[in-house]
Structures are given as C-alpha cells and as structure tokens.
C-alpha cells in the first residue's frame, strides 16, 4: 500500500488539521513526520474544537492509529497536556498513539535557548513559536540530542544532565537570565507519563503497517518554511517538503502515493521574513478578521495578503503535488475584487521564479478577478458554485498544472466539496 501525504504549501496554517481529520476517515493510520508543538492544527466536528500540536489529527477517528515519527521533536510536557485534552474528550490516547524511539526530545533548556537566540537576534529575530524547535533540531544535527528511546536507559538522568549543562553554558554565553531548573520537575514527571506509551522502532512498525494498510502522512508548517527551500533564515528547522516524509518515517520514496497540497485562497504568515503579497491596508485587515487569522499556538495576529501563485507553483514543483486542496475561499465571499499574484518584478524584470535573496525588493504582478459576492459557506455541491468562482479556480489549476480536488468552505468537517 501507499503512503499518501498532506502538505502545507504556504507558510503554515493552511488548514492541514481540518483536511487530515476529513481524510482520516479513509485511512486507518495517520503519522506526523516532522516539526513539533510549533504546529497548531485546528479540528472542528460535532460542535467540538481541538488544536492538535504533537498528536496527529487522526486521533478522533474511530480505530485510527496515530504515529509520531522519528522526524518529530517531542516536548513531554506539551505532549502530556495535549493527551489530557484528548482524554477529556473521551478518547484514550494510550490506545491510539505510537511513538518512535528515534524522535528527539525537547528539553526545558531548549525552550530557554530558543528565547535566548531570539532575544540576541534583536530586530533580526525569526519570530519563532518559542517552543524550542530550532535548538532541538540543532542538537539533533550536531549529534548531542536526546531521543525518546533514551528515556528507557538506566543512565537517562546522567545523559539529561550532560545536555542540560551544555545548554547552561550556551545560555550563559548568550547572556540570557533565566532559571534552567524551573520546568525540570514537571518535565521528569512528563517523562514518566511518556514511558507508559507504546514506544517503538517506528520504521519497522510503519513498513509492516503499509504492507496491508494505507497511511496518511500529516505535514506540519508549510513548504515556504522548509529549512532548505523556505525563505532562509526565516524558516523552521525541519524538512517540511516531501523528502521529510521519507526521512521522518523511514519509508522509501517509491512508497509515496498521492501528494495533497493545501493552500488558502489568500496568504498568511506569522513571524518575520519576506512576504511579497502582504497587505498593510484595510483589505489585509478584512482578511484577518473574516479569516480569524490569529495564531492557534501563540495567539499572534497573522500577517495577511493576496494569494501568491508564484510561490504556490514553486511548492507544487518541490513536492510533486498530485492534488490541490483549497481552503477558506469562503472568507473572500464579500470582496468586490480578488487578486492573485502571477509574477514577481525584481530589478525591473518579471519572473515566475522565487529569488534566492530574501531581501530582494519584489513587486508582485497581479491578476484581478471579479468577486462572486455570494455566501458560499452552505454550498455542498460543485454545481452550486457561481461562475465567477469556477473561473477563478480554473485559472489556478491552469497556472499550477494540478487539479483542485477539494474545496473547503468552512472550518467544520462537513463544509467540504470534493470534485
């Protein structure tokens, strides 16, 4: 069987949680393969609301297996809290979650280092979620990290202490005032909780599973935040693009099936970094308000702007997207005009390529569509969609060369049209 993949194609917050929850009804297993609690995947169903951060968004589907892969960075404290929220909704997390022993652990001092790095960067800060993501992946790559499987070792406390001392030296170096012991007790308690879960050699588990079952891999963040292909250094520290699925779960490229690429009908970004189509006017504010564009993890107001097709086509290329999924076009229902960026003017020349230089002065070239001016939130069938709307999506399909298979018209599971 194949591993199908859901990937965000923008700067995160595309609505991956909703779509994974919708699709998870068809997949017996869902796996996270990268990122950590920097993700905030909102699920809404049967009048309930939940934000998944480390736990895969399949958790509320009956009988589902939810895998936390080796490419993920796991914060035991956050995980315990999230499991508590799941349990409060009547689901037993222990019976549904499998965790890779090779996933790296986020320590309290990783979080402090994240804050220290940001403070030291001043105006040049990334605007990170302060969840310790960057420092944890740094330790992983520099071969200093602690992994989930290590918690079972008799000398785990010594290994923890060694890494903590290393962090204390780094924090001192950065001149960051803090109490490195503050969260330690809660963290150790959460490690005890983590031990009660099914901790496995996940690459074996996953490969055995896909012998007979289909798996859905759930991306976090988005392609434009990828460590290699995003607007470096204003990125996250993991591979958010397709290759991350193979390294983050231990599956071969030949096992990858459909690649669902999710995008919003406009763009948002939290944190710093280039955003060519960003709007600083009333239109940007209107999008923010109608789209409730405030961070699910940090509550920060998101920067907003028109859809950027140059960036979208780039993400489609990088990931080999087979099916596009468009989110939140209903948020544009009341706009007279709707714009999409079809080219970048850089140094007086128009290009369809994303430039290397993140500081490049980019002037977006726009195509303007007449708004459909109709409330689409109740639509459940393609035939009910106005012609202005179908013209708009046809244009995007032609531009990217990929069909839009799912149109989401509201946060609820049911507000979805499949084509």
168 to each of 1, 151, 171, 186, 244, how far by Cα in Å?
Answer: 47, 21, 5, 18, 31
Residues 293-352 that bind ligand IMO (CB under 6 A): none
Residue length of the chain? 419
Check binding of 221 to ligand IMO (CB under 6 A): yes
Considering only the stretches 33-41, 281-289, 335-343, 390-398, report the one whose residues sit in contact with ligand IMO under the rule CB under 6 A: 33-41
The C-alpha atoms of residue 377 and residue 358 are separated, in whole angstroms, by 37
Bridge partners for 326 per DSSP:
263, 407
Catalytic residue among 21, 41, 226, 330: 41
Residues 232-291 that bind ligand IMO (CB under 6 A): 236-237, 270-271
Check binding of 10 to ligand IMO (CB under 6 A): no
The C-alpha atoms of residue 165 and residue 160 are separated, in whole angstroms, by 9
Reduced to 3 states (helix: H, G, I; strand: E, B; else coil), residue 391 is helix
Q: Quick one: 114 or 151, whose CB is closer to ligand IMO?
A: 114
> Which partner in ligand IMO, Mg ion, none is near 251 (CB below 5 to 8 A by kind)?
none
Closest CB 375 distance from ligand IMO, rounded Å: 27
The C-alpha atoms of residue 277 and residue 300 are separated, in whole angstroms, by 19
Catalytic residue among 13, 75, 139, 330: 13
Q: Quick one: 269 or 339, whose CB is closer to Mg ion?
A: 269
Helices and strands of the chain, counted as H and E runs: 11, 19
Catalytic site includes residue 13 = yes
Torsion over CA of 207, 34, 408 and 322, rounded to 10 degrees? Answer: -60
Check binding of 40 to Mg ion (CB under 5 A): yes
One residue of 24, 39, 256, 325 binding ligand IMO per CB under 6 A: 39
> Which partner in Mg ion, ligand IMO, none is near 126 (CB below 5 to 8 A by kind)?
ligand IMO
Q: Quick one: 39 or 324, whose CB is closer to ligand IMO?
A: 39
Check binding of 8 to ligand IMO (CB under 6 A): yes
Closest CB 39 distance from Mg ion, rounded Å: 6
Closest CB 399 distance from ligand IMO, rounded Å: 23
Q: Are strands 48-52 and 41-45 parallel, antiparallel or unpaired?
A: antiparallel
Give kind and range of the element (H or E) at residue 31.
strand 29-32
Residues taking part in catalysis: 13, 41
């Amino acid at each position: 069987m194949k591993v199908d993949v859901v990937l965000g194609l923008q700067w995160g917050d595309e609505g991956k949680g909703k779509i994974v929850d919708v699709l998870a009804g068809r997949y017996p297993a869902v796996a996270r393969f990268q990122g950590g609690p920097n993700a905030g995947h909102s699920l809404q169903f049967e009048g309930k609301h939940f934000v998944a951060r480390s736990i895969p968004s399949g958790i509320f589907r009956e009988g589902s297996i939810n895998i936390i892969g080796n490419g993920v960075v796991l914060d035991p404290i956050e995980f315990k809290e999230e499991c508590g929220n799941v349990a409060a909704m009547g689901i037993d997390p222990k019976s549904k979650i499998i965790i890779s022993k090779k996933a790296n652990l986020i320590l309290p001092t990783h979080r402090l280092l994240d804050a220290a790095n940001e403070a030291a960067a001043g105006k040049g800060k990334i605007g990170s979620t302060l969840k310790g993501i960057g420092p944890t992946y740094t330790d992983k790559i520099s071969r200093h990290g602690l992994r989930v499987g290590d918690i079972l070792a008799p000398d785990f406390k010594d290994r923890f202490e060694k890494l903590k001392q290393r962090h204390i030296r780094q924090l001192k170096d950065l001149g960051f005032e803090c109490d490195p012991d503050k969260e330690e007790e809660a963290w150790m308690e959460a490690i005890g909780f983590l031990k009660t879960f099914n901790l496995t050699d996940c690459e074996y588990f996953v490969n055995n599973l896909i012998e007979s079952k289909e798996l859905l891999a759930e991306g976090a963040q988005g392609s434009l935040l990828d460590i290699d292909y995003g607007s470096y250094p204003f990125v996250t520290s993991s591979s958010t693009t397709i290759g991350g699925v193979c390294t983050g779960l231990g599956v071969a490229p030949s096992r990858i099936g459909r690649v669902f690429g999710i995008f919003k009908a406009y763009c948002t970004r939290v944190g710093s970094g280039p955003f060519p189509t960003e709007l600083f006017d009333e239109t940007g504010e209107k999008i923010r308000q109608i789209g409730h564009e405030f961070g699910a993890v940090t509550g920060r107001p998101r920067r907003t702007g028109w859809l950027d097709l140059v960036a979208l086509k780039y993400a489609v290329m990088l990931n080999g997207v087979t099916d596009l999924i468009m989110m939140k076009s209903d948020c544009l229902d009341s706009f007279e005009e709707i714009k999409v960026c079809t080219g970048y003017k850089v140094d007086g020349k128009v290009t369809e390529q994303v430039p290397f230089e993140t500081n490049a002065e980019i002037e977006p070239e726009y195509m303007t569509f007449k708004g459909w001016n109709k409330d689409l939130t109740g639509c459940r069938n393609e035939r009910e969609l106005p012609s202005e709307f179908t013209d708009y999506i046809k244009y995007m399909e032609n531009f990217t060369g990929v069909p839009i298979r799912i149109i989401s018209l509201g946060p609820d599971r049911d507000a979805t049209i499949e084509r």
